[in-house]
Amino acid sequence: MPAVISTAGLARTFRTKTGPVDAVRDLDLTVHEGEILGFLGPNGAGKTTTLRMLTTLLRPTGGAATVAGCDLATDPVGVRRASGYVAQSGGVDPQITVREELVTQGRMYRLPRPEAIARAAELARELDLTGLLDRRAGALSGGQRRRLDIAMALTHRPKVLFLDEPTTGLDPGSRADLWDLVRRLRDEHGTTVFLTTHYLDEADALADRLVVVDGGTVAAEGTPSALRLRYGGSLDATLQDTFLAITGRGPAPADSAPVAV
Ligand SMILES: Nc1ncnc2c1ncn2[C@@H]1O[C@H](COP(=O)(O)OP(=O)(O)OP(=O)(O)O)[C@@H](O)[C@H]1O
Ligand SMILES: [Mg+2]
């Protein structure tokens, strides 16, 4: 399978008043076409920073990367054309309607107005937003708003979809719908999905492969089963225990437990 995302030594250091923060360090990643990649890691591990670099919103301070064959540094327009991004917190305008949001997004991708209108209707059907087209974006529930974010990211039928915690705050039904959508994108359109989540059951159910980052760099990668075997001790290990073992935040060994007095 050809690689659709490839990074080599990717890095981002933020300069802050209290000194430099190495949010991402020496990150080497390969994601294959049509793969659903679960990108996991504790709070502050560098997931969002990585996604922002791979979608050209943030300039790397080191290393290189390509997305759909386009180099981040020399062809950012190509990268943007090939990718859709749903940010950790959505960026819709609360005053305008769902229909206007979707049509405006289509126009931003230079669709002629009739096509932008048709695409908006199509996306609304896909994301179960048809009944909400005339509602103000500001009046949507959290889950409805998340579906709108995703619809907007799919406007130009991107080859790669970056989803930063797409199901946070969704009810179980909406979560299941989103999983179906992600699988359908992969199966019917060959879309590559790069997804971060803190829900390990979600990573287990959805991802073909997991990459765990910690401290800005890759701590482990493999299929959920391979990671269980290697870090959790057996195929029956929970992904939670496996994750905690990888990130060194597992339960303290018995002999170091505090002694009750
Ligand atoms: N603009 C910024 N300026 C300074 N530091 C930043 C900036 N953006 C992120 N950081 C720092 O970089 C590190 C990585 O942050 P990032 O948002 O990538 O983590 P994350 O893995 O997405 O975490 P979470 O699971 O909480 O969303 C953190 O220490 C964060 O405080
Ligand atoms: Mg984040």
- pLDDT greater than 60 at residue 261: no
Q: Report the alpha-carbon distance of residue 93 to residue 139 in Å, rounded.
A: 11
pLDDT at 255: 44
Ligand 1 nearest-atom number relative to CA 16: 4
Residues 113-127, mean pLDDT to the nearest whole number: 94
Q: What tens digit of pLDDT does each residue of 202-245 get?
A: 999 999 999 999 999 999 999 999 999 999 999 999 999 999 99
Signed CA dihedral, 169, 246, 63, 207: sign only: negative
- pLDDT greater than 70 at residue 250: no
pLDDT at 259: 44
44 lines ligand 1 (CB under 6 A): yes
pTM for the model: 0.91
- pLDDT-derived band of residue 61, with 50, 70 and 90 as boundaries? very high
Ligand 1 nearest-atom number relative to CA 165: 27
248 lines ligand 1 (CB under 6 A): no
49 lines ligand 1 (CB under 6 A): yes
* pLDDT averaged over every residue in the chain: 91
The answer to whether 103 and 116 have CB atoms below 8 angstroms apart is yes
Atom 8 of ligand 1, nearest CA residue: 49
Neighbours of 19 (CB within 10 A): 7
pLDDT at 49: 97
45 lines ligand 1 (CB under 6 A): yes
- pLDDT greater than 50 at residue 120: yes
Q: What tens digit of pLDDT does each residue of 140-185 get?
A: 988 888 889 999 999 999 999 999 999 887 888 888 888 998 999 9
Ligand 1 nearest-atom number relative to CA 51: 18
Neighbours of 9 (CB within 10 A): 13
Atom 2 of ligand 1, nearest CA residue: 14
Q: DSSP code of 46?
A: S
- pLDDT greater than 60 at residue 252: no
In the chain, what are the domain boundaries?
3-93+159-250
User: Distance from the CA of 120 to the center of ligand 2, in angstroms?
Assistant: 28
CATH number listed for the domain at residues 3-93+159-250: 3.40.50.300
pLDDT at 91: 66
47 lines ligand 1 (CB under 6 A): yes
Q: Report the alpha-carbon distance of residue 240 to residue 260 in Å, rounded.
A: 27
